[in-house]
Amino acid sequence: MTTSTATIDVPAARLPVASLLALALAGFITILTEALPAGLLPQIGAGLKISQALAGQLVTVYAVGSLMAAIPLIAATQGVRRRPLLLSAIAGFVVANTVTMVSDSYLLTMVARFLAGVSAGLLWALLAGYAARMVPEHQKGRAIAIAMVGAPLALSLGVPVGTFIGSLVDWRMCFGLMSGLALALMVWVRLRVPDFAGQAVGKRLSLGYVFTVAGVRPVLLAVLAFVLAHNILYTYIAPFLTSAGMAERTDLVLLVFGITALLGIWIIGVLIDRYLRALTLCSTILFGLSALALGTAGNIPGVVYAATAAWGLAFGGAGALFQTALARTAGEAADVAQSMLVTAWNIAIAGGGIIGGILLDRIGVPAFPPALLVLLILTLAIVWAGKRHGFPPAQR
């Protein structure tokens, strides 16, 4: 028994938690910088003397920057050492949030937000591969899960706290605090995060080659379908709840989602290295059951809360599951493959807004659950079929 315990405990003790948490904070800053304007639209609109609709485009231009930058930047920087590249991405947030804090020009603010989006595209493409390189093969999933914990924390805690601070003081102070946090993170990364060499010239892989690696395309397609389903519902959760007579409980519903998402990423972090395929299948099925419940009894508050909890539990660890699957599949080309995942994820975010809006205008919120079920059945089929490449069973 003593020998067995040592075999299990020693690798866990060597997990570079401080370094991985630095990556998690980078993800936290990325998501918070993206989503914060959504909670401060009235204040930003008044401060820049624009409508709230125009203020909302601060979120849109950020997503456009991420979408446009991830693949080209990663492809162009394959030979660059990883820590300076990571520091450059974080520095982009320092500059962008500082400009946003001091700018009185809508155009300049939009340029700053685009720069923040470019930095986000680069950073998200780096995180999973960076975390995976810090640990041995049997700990890659757990390392990626820790590095990804910043995203649900930002959505569940960071955005509400930032919105609250913005309502008490000036909205610009929130972006100033974000700049200070990013500066502190640069020091943390420089002191505690290891550096890795970029790819040697002879080992750099083209985008076309990486895209054809067995398993890469199934993972990307699964990401697109799963995240599209999520964003159709998440983007239009307010009108969905309004139709259910729960408009005044939107904040509570989102809190339930955030808390269970954190629980989901904790569960995934514990089990992902052994049960990645099973967890991906279970998360997809759980999300599908949530959509089915909302479609059949979405006017009953208890059902809405339970379905939202299941949805959060399913979605919380999804990023870690898909990124780990892609990192294992792509191997040495992990960063290039992750840039494709970032692009697919942002396409799904934009697609959720567009497709959800069309469904809402033409059919109404009753169209959401069937649309989600179609996308999740597609995801389930892709993951199930990926037994050899993409989502293989656990190997001892």
Does 215 map to a domain? yes
Which structural domain range is residue 103 located in? 15-204
Which domain-ending residue is among 156, 184, 204?
A: 204
What is the rounded (10 degree) CA torsion for 182, 338, 270, 154? 30
Does 3 map to a domain? no
Question: Per-residue pLDDT tens for 153-196?
Answer: 887 777 677 777 777 778 899 899 999 999 999 999 999 999 99
**How high is the mean pLDDT of the chain?**
86
Instruction: Answer yes or no: do 169 and 238 share one domain.
Output: no
User: Are 383 and 280 in contact, with CB atoms under 8 Å apart?
Assistant: yes
CA 17/CA 280 separation, integer angstroms: 24
Instruction: Answer yes or no: do 194 and 308 share one domain.
Output: no
CA 384 to chain centroid, in Å, comes to 23
Does 91 map to a domain? yes
Instruction: Answer yes or no: do 153 and 236 share one domain.
Output: no
CA 8/CA 262 separation, integer angstroms: 25
Alpha helices in the chain (DSSP H): 2-13, 17-39, 41-48, 52-76, 82-102, 106-133, 140-147, 150-153, 159-168, 171-192, 207-212, 216-235, 237-243, 250-297, 301-316, 318-330, 334-362, 368-385
Instruction: Answer yes or no: do 332 and 222 share one domain.
Output: yes
Q: What pLDDT score was predicted for residue 85?
A: 94
Q: What pLDDT score was predicted for residue 27?
A: 92
Does 368 map to a domain? yes
* Count of CB atoms situated within 10 Å of the CB of 3: 6
Which domain-ending residue is among 177, 204, 231?
A: 204
Q: Higher-confidence residue: 395 or 76?
A: 76
pTM to 2 decimal places:
0.80
Q: What is the CATH number of the domain that holds 59?
A: 1.20.1250.20
Instruction: Answer yes or no: do 163 and 253 share one domain.
Output: no
User: Are 254 and 237 in contact, with CB atoms under 8 Å apart?
Assistant: yes
**Is 387 buried (19+), middle (13-18) or exposed (0-12) by CB count in 10 A?**
exposed
- Whether 220 has a pLDDT exceeding 90, the answer reads yes
Q: What pLDDT score was predicted for residue 190?
A: 94
Question: Per-residue pLDDT tens for 251-297?
Answer: 788 888 888 988 998 899 889 888 999 999 999 999 999 999 999 99
Instruction: Answer yes or no: do 266 and 389 share one domain.
Output: yes
Instruction: Answer yes or no: do 346 and 248 share one domain.
Output: yes
Total structural domains within the chain: 2
**Is 138 buried (19+), middle (13-18) or exposed (0-12) by CB count in 10 A?**
exposed
Closest CA to 347 of 339, 36, 89: 339
Closest CA to 74 of 224, 217, 210: 210
Q: What pLDDT score was predicted for residue 204?
A: 66
What average pLDDT does range 109-126 have in this prediction?
93
